[in-house]
Amino acid sequence: AGPEEAGPEEYSIPPPVSQGKWKNKERVLIFSSRGINFRTRHLMQDLRTLMPHSKADTKMDRKDQLFVINEVCEMKNCNKCIFFEAKKKQDLYMWLSNTPQGPSAKFLVQNIHTLAELKMTGNCLRGSRPLLSFDPTFDKEPHYALLKELFIQIFSTPQYHPKSQPFVDHVFTFTVTDERIWFRNYQIIEEDASLVEIGPRFVLNLIKIFQGSFGGPTLYENPHYRSPNMHRRLLRLSVAAKFREKQQVKEVQKIKKKGSKVLMKEDPTEVVFETPAEEKPVEIQLMKPQSKPIVKDKKKPRKIQRKKQKKLFRTE
């Protein structure tokens, strides 16, 4: 029976909330370049799991220019992109872009921890919608305000998305500390509304914000950013400086040891009581010295015989 024909004891069940009209059709393409390590691959897979409105694609070749990603997003029908770029098999960069108009931001990714690690004890429903929590710093400075809007459009799951669930049971937090953006994912426990970390977690060090998508004029450049190459170079220089300092200390100690010996002046009174010895005449030996006679040991053959007898006795 419909809602009009329902009797006094019958109730009509309203349609579920998730069957509403999907209006905000945000789609995020998450993929990477070739050369990434296993940790980056797991992080990329974790983000795809947490974001039901994401799409995947094959790895991009290193020789291709970055603006080609705009065409890839257009073919995949995506208007947002998260691109992981690996360099030197150890440095990881993340691009967040609004394709194809822009803006886009480039970050250096540090301190990656994935969902599979045992320290993350939380859990959440697959496809559920997250709450986004931002640090108050995002509202104070203009470049952080721009990044906040970019994060909201990329990480928030659109309402009534077909793959999403109509529940809110976890929180994405973006915190600014030490000139970096710290990303954390927490589960909301229903009993006491406490938070338990789920993962993944990583730190984003902002490099530049561009006006276009994967290029264009620079809107903001981070003055506190130091490239990984420069950081490694400074570490090597510090180690070399410590080694040089040790060598200099050793040389100074050697010089001190040499200079510590003080030469005493000669005392003229020391020679007063010395009596000179008589000078002996020099004798020149003209004759060859006589050789000493060789005295044979008469008891030697007897000793040899005794030794032989002892050996024979031991063997018997």
Q: Could you read off the pLDDT of 168-213 as tens digits, one per residue? A: 999 999 999 999 999 999 999 988 889 999 989 999 999 999 999 9
- Where are the domains positioned within the chain? 28-231
pLDDT computed for residue 3 by the predictor:
47
Q: What residues have CB less than 8 Å from 40, skipping those under 6 apart?
A: 32, 84, 86, 92, 109, 112
Half-sphere exposure of 15 (CA within 13 A, CB side): 6
Q: Does residue 303 carry a pLDDT above 60? A: yes
Instruction: Please give the average per-residue pLDDT across 293-309, as a whole number.
Output: 80
Instruction: Please give the average per-residue pLDDT across 273-296, as a whole number.
Output: 79
Pick the more confident residue, 290 or 158. 158
pLDDT computed for residue 4 by the predictor:
47
Q: Does residue 279 carry a pLDDT above 90? A: no
Q: Does residue 14 carry a pLDDT above 60? A: no
In whole numbers, what is the pLDDT of the chain averaged over residues? 88
Pick the more confident residue, 284 or 128. 128
**Is beta strand 54-56 parallel, antiparallel or unpaired with respect to 28-32?**
parallel
Superfamily of domain 28-231: Brix domain (3.40.50.10480)
CA distance 137 to 189: 27
Instruction: Please give the average per-residue pLDDT across 282-307, as a whole number.
Output: 79
CA distance 130 to 114: 18
pTM above 0.95, yes or no: no
Q: Does residue 7 carry a pLDDT above 60? A: no
pLDDT band at 16 (very low <50, low <70, confident <90, very high): low
pLDDT band at 8 (very low <50, low <70, confident <90, very high): low
